[in-house]
Structure 1
Amino acid sequence: MRGNKSPLFKRLPHVLCVDESNSDRSQMAEGYLHTFASTLLDVQSAGMQHHGLSRIAVQVMQEDGVDIRRHSDELISRDLLLWADLIITISGPSEAVHLPIPSSAVEKRWLIAPPAVTGDADPVIAYRHTRDEIKRRVQQLVNALKLSRGNAA
């Protein structure tokens, strides 16, 4: 039904979560957006490089009741950028994630360091901190979307 031209048909906004590797942070954001906003948004994630899905990211998300085991690490592409209405770029202070944002999309930047550089000796603890920060930001975004939809209704 994607091509329906009816004035009553409205597609869900497309959200693309991007980070350097698409192995943890963008996958977590995609997982939470699917969990909290599956009726509000169509979500995908991608990265600048292939690194494979982090097993620790999968573990800490399962601890919070979100299953990302079936996610795959995707490379960013021109088609994905053109697909997106909102591009959430997640990067740490030392990462250079610069995308050619199409004029049809809006970019939101989230400054969140990769779990490996958060300074925690235990990687699982580092991933939990990253997960919790991403969850907080996703909840803020979803709440704002719900408010704006409520005002538009």
Structure 2
Amino acid sequence: MNKTKVLFLCTGNSARSQMAEAFLRKYAREKFEVYSGGLDAKGINPYTIKVMDEIGIDISKQASTPLKDYLGKKHFGYLITVCADAEENCPTFPGVTKRLHWAFEDPVAFEGNEEEKLNKFREVRDKIEEQIKKWLAE
């Protein structure tokens, strides 16, 4: 069976798009082939790995991938941007059937102590999971 390819895109591919990739894989692996990428991939943020691990999802093997690694090489049924920067600066992506934008706050940009940062990552994680579930129910 041919699965629909989905690309989640954000600026650094360090938090939001990584979480979205993991949640879609968890809830609909049988329907979608899931990827994530960044306009300027920076590696996965350690807090992202930690807060996903807290809910039983291991993303330590996921990769932070530059968008250029996909351009002209993969054709996606869905391109879903998860930050305003990616939405505004994503080049025209050939072969995309449907483009969606889900704006989530950047937990990496949040300033505070370690516990406050973890709480921000958890808050964003939970919003992304809720959005994935809502989208799959539609």
Give 3-state SS (helix, strand or coil) of 1:21's partner.
Answer: coil
Gaps of 5+ in 1: 1-9, 145-153
* More relative contact order, 1 or 2 (CA 8 Å, 6+ apart): 2
- 4+ residue runs of structure 1 moved beyond 6 angstroms? none
Which of the pair has more CA radius of gyration?
Answer: 1
Matched to 2:91, the amino acid is L
Identical counterparts, % of pairs: 24
Is 1:137 matched up with 2:131?
Answer: yes
Q: Which amino acid counterpart does residue 79 of structure 1 have in structure 2?
A: G
The reply on whether 1:26 has 2:5 as its aligned counterpart is no
- Describe the SS at the equivalent of 2:63: coil
Q: Which residue of 1 aligns with 2:105?
A: 113
Unaligned ranges ≥5, structure 2: none
- Is contact 1:119–1:126 with CA below 8 Å preserved after alignment? no
- The alignment covers a number of residue pairs equal to 134
Amino acid at match of 1:68: I
**Structure-2 change in CA distance of 1:118 and 1:93 (3 Å):** farther
Contact 1:115-1:126 within 8 A present in 2 as well: yes
Change beyond 3 A, Cα 1:116–1:92: farther
* Aligned CA-pair RMSD: 2.1
Instruction: Provide TM-score, normalisation by structure 2.
Output: 0.87
